[in-house]
Structure 1
Amino acid sequence: MDRNISRIQEHGLRSVWENEERDFTRWLTENIDLLASELGIEIEDARAEEAVGDFSADIVAREMNTGETVVIENQYNRTDHDHLGKLLTYSSGKNAGFTMWLAEEFRPEHRSVLEWLNESGPKGAKFFAIKPRVVSIEGAEERGFEFEVVVEPNEWEREVSTESLSDSERSYRQFFTEMVEAYSQRRPNWYKLKPGARSYLTFSAGISRVRFGWAFHQGPEFSVELYISTPDKERNEEIFEALKQEQTDIETNLGVELEWERLPEKQASRIKQPKDLDGTITELTTDQRNHLIEWGVDAMDEFEKEFEPRISALGSS
C-alpha cells in the first residue's frame, strides 16, 4: 500500500507572534510549563521584563526543586553579540542557576560560548541554547510548536560530581532516577524530571508552589505528599483547610489515613502518606529499595488522582 509522506515546513516565530517582547515573551511567560517539560524541570513564578539594574530581563523565574533562579533571554532571528551580552549581564545580576537563550538560529561561535561556560564557567551555573520552532505539515494550515535544545550542560548537574557526593546524596540521586523512570512508565504523559542529590523530588500540582512529592524524613520514613508553600501564608492555610474539610472523603477513597500537618513553625503546610522504613537510604537493601519504588509509584498514582481535581477546583476559585 502506498503511503504519502509529507514534508515538515518550518515557519518564523513572527508568523504566530508578531512581536517578540509583546507577544512571544508574554506567551512564553504564561506557558512556561512547556519549556520546563522539555528540560525535565519545574519552573514557576515566571515574570516578564524584570528589572536587572538599569535593564530588564525578558523572563525571570524559579526552578521549583532547587530554588534556583531561571533567566531567559528571547531573540528572533540569528543570535548576536548584543543579546549574548544581555544574557550574561542578566545571569550575573540575578545569580542565575539556569540561564536560557532562546533564538531561531544560533551562530556557531555563540554555541561555543555556552558550551565553554558549561564546562568552565561559574560553579552551579547551567547554560542552555534553545531553538523555539513553529512547524506544519506541507499543505496544512494548522501550526505546531516545539523546542529544540541546542546546548545543555553535560550530565546536567555537572557542579555535583559523583566523587564529591556523600553516600547519602549518591543514593538519593540513584533512587529518584529509578523512581522517575518507574513513574513515567505508569504515567506516559508525565514528563521526566531530572533528579538531584536531594532527599526529595517534587512536581507541580497545578497551582504555583503547590507540589506533589516523594520525600525521605526522619524516623526514618518515606512519604508521598502534597506540599503547600505559596509566598502567602494565608493562602497556604486556605488551601490546606479547604482540603481538610474533605478529609473523610479523601481518606476513604485512598483507603488510608493521612497526616495533615499545618507546620505552624513554617509558612508551608503538608499532607502526607508516610511509610516507615527499616533504615536510612544508605542502609536499605536492593530489595527494600525496589519495593519502596513500587510503593511510591502506586501510592503517588492514587494520591495524584485523588488530589488533582480538588486542587484544580481551588485554583480556579
Structure 2
Amino acid sequence: MVSITELGRLQKVDLRDAWPHEAHNFTPWLAQEENLRLLGDTLGLEMELEAVEKAVDSFSADILARDTIEGGWILIENQLEQTNHSHLGQILTYAAGLNAKTVVWIAREFREPHRAAVDYLNEVSSQEYNFFGVQLELYRIGDSPLAPRFDVVAKPNGWSKRLVARTKEGGALAATKQEWVDYWTRFIESPEAGELKLAARVPPKEGWCRVEQLRSGDASVATWLHNNDVQARVVLWVQGPFAKAMFDHLSISKNEIERELGTILSWDRMDGKKSSMIAIETKAGDGTGEAAEFKWLAEWAAKFATAFRPRVVGVDSAALVSLSSAPEPA
C-alpha cells in the first residue's frame, strides 16, 4: 500500500501580528544581522548595517547599510501598509540627503503607480543607482513559527546580468576584503588606537574606517581613516543637504585651523558632488613599519577631532541655510 505524506497548508498572516509597530518592532527586527542577510540574499546584495533611524535633517531614515561589494550606501525604508505618495517623497529626500546609491522600499502591498515610479527611477538613473520595490509577506503552517517572505516587485533594468557580474567580482574581492579586515583588526587592537572614539569596533572590509561622528543631520561630519596601500589619510568627510555650506564655513577658518594643527591640509570642496572633504595624508607602507603607520593615523584622527569638533557642533542650521543660499564660488 502506498503511503501518503500529510502536508500542511500555508496560511498568510497579517504583518501586524508579528510587528505591531513599524519603528519599534519591524525596523529593529530587520536590522538584525540574520534578517538583513535574508533581505540581501533576496535582492542579490551584500550589506552591513550602518545605522538605524539615521538622521536626515529633522527626519530619520529607517535603516542605512553599506554595500560591501561596491561600497555605496543602501537606504532601506519600511512600510507595513500599502505604499503611498508620502513614503515615496520621504525615500527620495532621504536618498538625496544620505547620498544613497541603492534604495530598498519595503511595503505590505505596492500600488501600481508606486511600482511604476520605482521602475521609472531605474530607467532614468545611471547604473550606479539601484531602486528596489519589495513586498513583505508573512506565513505559517499550522502552529509553526512565522516565516517572512520578501517578494521583489521592482528592480533595476538588467539586474540579473549585473548580479552575475557582481558575484564574479565578489569572489575576486573576497581575499582583498579579508586583508582589510585583518589590517583594521590590527589597528583597532593596537595601543595607538586605544584612545580613539571609534564609531564601531568591528573592522571594515575596505580601505575606509569611520572614527567619530562629530555632527549628524543637515550637515553630517565625521572623521575617517583611509588606506589604499599607497597613501594613508585622515579625512574629515562632510555630507548632507548643507555639506557645501559647512565646508565653506570651515574654509573661513582655514588659516587658523592649519596654524593650530601645524601643517597644511588638503581642502576639496568637490563641486558637482554632494560631499566635501578635508584631509592630511602620508605614504603608506613607507618602510617605517605598521606600528608607526598606526601611530600616525591615530594621532591625526585625534587632532582632527579636537580641531574640528567645536567648529561643526556650534553651527546652527540657520547659519548653514544662509551660507547655502550665497552665490557659488567662482
**TM-score band w.r.t. shorter chain:** 0.5 to 0.7
Match of 1:61 among 57, 65, 71: 65
Segment drifting more, 38-47 vs 229-238? 229-238
Superposed counterparts of 1:262-273, under 5 Å? 266=232
Deviation for aligned residue 1:233: 6.9
Aligned to 2:12: 10
Match of 2:105 among 97, 101, 109: 101
The reply to whether residue 110 of structure 1 matches residue 114 of structure 2 is yes
Match of 1:235 among 183, 188, 198: 188
Change over 3 Å in CA distance of 1:11–1:47 after alignment to 2:
same
Q: State whether residues 109 and 136 of structure 2, in contact with CA within 8 Å, keep that contact through their aligned partners in structure 1.
A: no
Distance (Å, rounded) in 1 between the aligned partners of 2:130 and 2:168:
15
Deviation for aligned residue 1:3: 3.9
Match of 2:22 among 12, 20, 23: 20
Aligned to 1:154: 157
SS of corresponding position for 1:97: strand
Distance (Å, rounded) in 1 between the aligned partners of 2:160 and 2:124:
14
Distance (Å, rounded) in 2 between the aligned partners of 1:56 and 1:17:
19
The reply to whether residue 88 of structure 1 matches residue 61 of structure 2 is no
Deviations 1:81-104 (A, max 9, x none): 111111111112222111000001
Deviation for aligned residue 1:72: 0.7
Distance (Å, rounded) in 2 between the aligned partners of 1:35 and 1:21:
18
SS of corresponding position for 2:157: coil
Distance (Å, rounded) in 2 between the aligned partners of 1:90 and 1:155:
25
Aligned CA RMSD, in angstroms, stands at 3.2
SS of corresponding position for 1:129: strand
Aligned to 1:194: 167
Structure-2-length-normalised TM-score: 0.51
Distance (Å, rounded) in 2 between the aligned partners of 1:37 and 1:230:
27
Q: State whether residues 230 and 236 of structure 1, in contact with CA within 8 Å, keep that contact through their aligned partners in structure 2.
A: no
Deviations 1:79-126 (A, max 9, x none): 011111111111122221110000010001100000111111355210
Query: Size of the alignment, in residue pairs?
Result: 193
Distance (Å, rounded) in 1 between the aligned partners of 2:102 and 2:112:
21
Q: State whether residues 119 and 155 of structure 2, in contact with CA within 8 Å, keep that contact through their aligned partners in structure 1.
A: yes
The reply to whether residue 145 of structure 1 matches residue 145 of structure 2 is no
The reply to whether residue 38 of structure 1 matches residue 42 of structure 2 is yes
Superposed counterparts of 1:305-316, under 5 Å? none
The reply to whether residue 121 of structure 1 matches residue 125 of structure 2 is yes
SS of corresponding position for 1:14: helix
Structure-1-length-normalised TM-score: 0.53
Deviation for aligned residue 1:76: 0.8
Distance (Å, rounded) in 1 between the aligned partners of 2:182 and 2:110:
38
Distance (Å, rounded) in 2 between the aligned partners of 1:105 and 1:142:
22
Distance (Å, rounded) in 2 between the aligned partners of 1:231 and 1:93:
28
Superposed counterparts of 1:245-284, under 5 Å? 266=232
Distance (Å, rounded) in 2 between the aligned partners of 1:128 and 1:229:
33
Distance (Å, rounded) in 1 between the aligned partners of 2:189 and 2:39:
27
SS of corresponding position for 1:44: strand
Distance (Å, rounded) in 1 between the aligned partners of 2:135 and 2:186:
38
Deviation for aligned residue 1:67: 0.8
Distance (Å, rounded) in 1 between the aligned partners of 2:41 and 2:160:
17
Distance (Å, rounded) in 2 between the aligned partners of 1:232 and 1:214:
15
Match of 2:51 among 43, 47, 50: 47
Superposed counterparts of 1:171-210, under 5 Å? 194-196=167-169, 201-202=172-173
Runs of 4+ in 1 over 6 A off after TM superposition: 229-233
Q: State whether residues 65 and 201 of structure 1, in contact with CA within 8 Å, keep that contact through their aligned partners in structure 2.
A: no
Q: State whether residues 78 and 106 of structure 1, in contact with CA within 8 Å, keep that contact through their aligned partners in structure 2.
A: yes
Change over 3 Å in CA distance of 1:30–1:111 after alignment to 2:
same
Distance (Å, rounded) in 2 between the aligned partners of 1:73 and 1:47:
12
Q: State whether residues 50 and 64 of structure 2, in contact with CA within 8 Å, keep that contact through their aligned partners in structure 1.
A: yes
Deviations 1:57-76 (A, max 9, x none): 01111101111110011001
Deviations 1:154-191 (A, max 9, x none): 22289x8xxxxxxxxxxxx98xx5xxxxxxxxxxxxxx
